[in-house]
Amino acid sequence: MTANLSETLTLLLIEDDDGDAFLVEELLDEAEAPPRIFRARSLQEAKTKLTSRIQCVLVDLSLPDASRLEALEEVLGLAPHAAVLVLTGLRDVHVGVAAVQAGAQDYLVKQDIDARLLARSIRYAMERKRADLAQLRLVQAELTAKENARLQSGLLPVKLLHTSEIDHTTRYLPGSGGTLAGDFLDTVQTPDGAVHIVVGDVCGHGPDEAALGVALRIAWRTLVLAGQTGDTLLRTLDALLRAERKAPEIFTTLCMATIAPDLRHATLRVVGHPPPVLVRDGAVEVVAGGPSGPPLGIFPDVEWSVIEVSLGDKWSMMLYTDGLIEAAVGERNELLGVDGLLDLVREHGAIDLDRLITHVGTLSDDLAVVLVSRRKA
């Protein structure tokens, strides 16, 4: 009966015996879709041929330069993506069992091999390897999710807000890649009644950036509660960033707002960051005045200018990271941009975070948003 391999494979045969190698090659040639076969006569030769294109490895454990399971361990280390079948003699069946326990997908006794058995064993080994890799990815995804949850708990603090005159809403969403970035947010009301808000973004993605975002957020909260504000606070954050970052090119953008105790005025510093959106007296606009200065971590001895904003009696202000304006929207997947964001707010008639996020759809980058509004009298 003709052997049948379900797909054309690229296979490496590691066998020093020419007779045994010839037998295996002849049997595989009977398959309906014969695999591409590369051969190595030693472990050293195999190391040069175990590339990512090899999907399956048949390895004899009796090689001239490797003893028993040593060869298998080398192969598993060099080709973690490939299915591995061990070839053994009748007297070494127990070695084959040990090989499977060590990570091989199956073992074959040379004296029992025929075309049908060989084709079936390779096919089953491939399926077992796919299942093993899928399980590994699942475990890794679960570990990543737990790590993300731990980091996210640091990125999403409990607000310290005591006034009943302000509505406060936040959102934190990871981008489509699933890996947390260094976006962070916080809100603190000091004893004088002023409300302090920060939204920031550490460049890059990954646990290091997320951890740095947590460190900056905690430092910001501590400094605000200790009475530090303005350039003094920013210079301290800049020094912390330079001390904690893993690479000198990592920088951080942020926007800080301090709402006066009368809730009618605010001062802002836009540190290389997208400008806040402000709705007051029915008008939708970005906070005027331009950026206050460059991001943290780039230039030494920077001074950041203050933006003074008159809020009035009825207003809403949204601080956000660039994940929002870099979202692709519409049939042409164009970036939303600041102008597009303003158009959406005008279309909705107010800043509705859930509706806004639903409209932009899938985010390519993390998103942190703080929305504060003065309640109606």
Q: Which residue has the higher pLDDT, 3 or 325?
A: 325
Question: Nearest CA to 109 among 1, 23, 26?
Answer: 23
CATH fold for the domain made of 10-137:
Rossmann fold (3.40.50)
- pLDDT band with cut points at 50, 70 and 90 for residue 2: very low
Q: What pLDDT, in 10s, does the model give residues 133-189?
A: 888 888 877 776 676 666 556 557 888 999 999 999 998 887 655 556 789 999 999
The dihedrals phi and psi of 11, each to the nearest 5 degrees, come to -125, 145
Percent of the chain beyond pLDDT 70?
A: 91
The per-residue pLDDT for 226 is: 95
State residue 3's pLDDT score.
45
What is the C-alpha to C-alpha distance for residues 194 and 335, in angstroms, rounded to an integer? 35
For domain 156-374, give the CATH superfamily: PPM-type phosphatase domain (3.60.40.10)
Identify residue 296 by its one-letter amino acid code: L
pLDDT of residue 5 exceeding 60: no
DSSP code, position 111: G
Collapsing DSSP to helix, strand or coil, 36 comes out as strand
Q: 3-class DSSP state for residue 336?
A: coil
End-to-end CA distance of the chain: 87
Is residue 334 within 8 A of residue 277, CB to CB? The reply is: no
The two structure tokens encoding residue 45: 């030769």
- The residue ranges of every structural domain in the chain are 10-137, 156-374
- Residue 331 in this model has a pLDDT that exceeds 90: no
| Alpha-carbon distances of 260 from 96, 308, 314, rounded to whole Å | 76, 11, 14
Mean pLDDT for the stretch of residues 52-65: 88
Q: What is the enclosing helix (H) or strand (E) of 291?
A: none
Distance between CA 191 and CA 170 in Å, rounded? 22
Whole-number Cα distances in Å, 319 to 21, 90, 155, 213, 351: 68, 72, 15, 16, 11
d(CA 218, CA 155): 9
